Amino acid sequence: MVSTFPNSTKINLSRIRPSIRSLQPLLVEWRRRFHQKPELGFQEQLTAEFVSQKLQQWGIEHQTAVAKTGIVATVRGKKPGSEKVLAIRADMDALPIQELNEVPYRSQHDGIMHACGHDGHTAIALGTAYYLQQHRQDFPGAVKIIFQPAEEGPGGAKPMIAAGVLKNPDVDAIIGLHLWNNLPLGTVGVRPGPLMAAVEFFECTIFGKGGHGAIPHQTVDSVVVAAQVVTALQTIVSRNVNPIDSAVVTVGALHAGTAHNVIADTATLKGSVRYFNPSYQGFFSQRITQVIAGICESHGARYDLQYHELYPATINNAAMAELVRSVALEVVETPLGIVPECQTMGSEDMSFFLQEVPGCYFFLGCANPDKNLNYPHHHPRFDFDETALAMGVEMFVRCVEKFFG
């Protein structure tokens, strides 16, 4: 990946207030605890139990078992002046990956690993809740902290919204962050508009007519049909999508046949679609169906297509993105540490919250090549520089202060 940002932006710890810097050992302890006991989506029992225990201990009102394992906590400010409500969202789930890191805090759950940094997100949100509870006199209104399950799939944001987490008291705006190993520690990736892409999956089975490899004229060769489908699908982005817009169509799996001399009866393919511009919602499913139907028809094959719209694009509100950017300017070492060209075709179900209320999702750089902490997300050796934890709390707290200020 070509980086357009400085390779080692030094983090200036003096930008992190002493009362948050002093939380760092706790943040690290919590994060490592979550890391050692990772849980898959909607199974975050231990994680939620620990979060709830801490909130209870600090006297923070909260509701558990929201959308199975989610938690929503409310910290009410004591300063008069505003009735507004700002929400902070953190995801808690891990991935079905066997950890290869040899660290004292490595995963104790076989085949499950926090390889995306959600352990850090949970720790940062918990630290933010703690800090805000101790400093209620400094802000008016209320801050809702949403601990969300199952971001990696099938998605916990939608059921949490359905369960009413944005209501009573009604949320006016929302922020959230992702620890980001594509950016070095000491940087913040933030931009208005689309940050992450919409994602859709499809599975297709092509039914031909199998037969002897030497007698093709008596068959309908599903391999030939599937090959044409794969090639033709590439024209959707290159010929049908406005070149100003970004989109990806990927066929990630193609299976057919068993032997040299047998014409395959069926072929299956699996693919994914990504795009930023919401006006393409429904477009790809329609176009993919047309392409598959047309090619199958011309060969006398049949098909079955399953199409799933998963997460919409993550689109930041301009005013909220500006609020986060101005806060980041106070926290990072140099303005160069603000990275607006941080868009990715990856996806996030934070997008559902951003469809409901104005908000901003941003990336918090946490890679540190000097410490070998720069493996990509979802890699079995993923880990990040934990200095980012205190920086995350500082970012959230300053966002709260600026939002109500």
Residue with Cβ nearer Zn ion (51 or 224) = 51
Whole-number minimum distance, CB 346 to Zn ion, in Å? Answer: 8
* 383 has catalytic annotation: no
Whole-number minimum distance, CB 41 to Zn ion, in Å? Answer: 11
Q: Which stretch binds Zn ion (CB under 5 A): 13-21, 34-42, 100-108, 115-123?
A: 115-123
Whole-number minimum distance, CB 384 to Zn ion, in Å? Answer: 12
x/- mask, Zn ion, residues 64-103, rule CB under 5 A, reads ----------------------------------------
Whole-number minimum distance, CB 178 to Zn ion, in Å? Answer: 6
Q: Which stretch binds Zn ion (CB under 5 A): 76-84, 108-116, 285-293, 320-328?
A: 108-116
Residue with Cβ nearer Zn ion (84 or 118) = 118
First to last CA, the chain: 39
Residue with Cβ nearer Zn ion (78 or 378) = 378
Amino acid letter at 359? G
Residue with Cβ nearer Zn ion (91 or 394) = 91
CA 350 to the chain's CA centroid: 7
Q: Which stretch binds Zn ion (CB under 5 A): 110-118, 265-273, 286-294, 357-365?
A: 110-118
- Give the residue from 37, 117, 158, 170 showing the smallest Cα distance to 363: 117
Q: Output the 3-class SS for 197-237.
A: CEEEEEEEEEECECEECCCHHHCECHHHHHHHHHHHHHHHH
**Does residue 388 belong to the site contacting Zn ion (CB under 5 A)?**
no
Q: Which stretch binds Zn ion (CB under 5 A): 109-117, 273-281, 307-315, 395-403?
A: 109-117
Residue with Cβ nearer Zn ion (17 or 379) = 379
Backbone φ, ψ for residue 256 (5° rounding):
-165, 150
Question: Considering CB under 5 A, how many residues would be counted as binding Zn ion?
Answer: 1
CA dist 278 and 246 (Å) reads 11
Active-site hit among 93, 152, 172, 348: 93
- The strand pair at 198-207 and 188-189 is best described as unpaired
Residue with Cβ nearer Zn ion (116 or 267) = 116
Site of tokens 């406005």:
242
Active-site hit among 151, 172, 221, 386: 151
Whole-number minimum distance, CB 257 to Zn ion, in Å? Answer: 34
| Residues paired with residue 205 on neighbouring β-strands, in sequence order | 268, 304
Closest chain position to Zn ion (CB): 116
Cβ 291 vs Cβ 232: under 8 Å: yes
CB atoms within 10 A of CB 77: 22
Whole-number minimum distance, CB 89 to Zn ion, in Å? Answer: 12
Whole-number minimum distance, CB 165 to Zn ion, in Å? Answer: 19
* One residue of 92, 113, 116, 357 binding Zn ion per CB under 5 A: 116
* 44 has catalytic annotation: no
Backbone φ, ψ for residue 43 (5° rounding):
-120, 20
Residue with Cβ nearer Zn ion (197 or 233) = 197
Whole-number minimum distance, CB 39 to Zn ion, in Å? Answer: 14
Residue with Cβ nearer Zn ion (303 or 363) = 363
List, by residue number, the catalytic residues.
Answer: 93, 151
Which residues contact Zn ion (rule: CB under 5 A)? 116
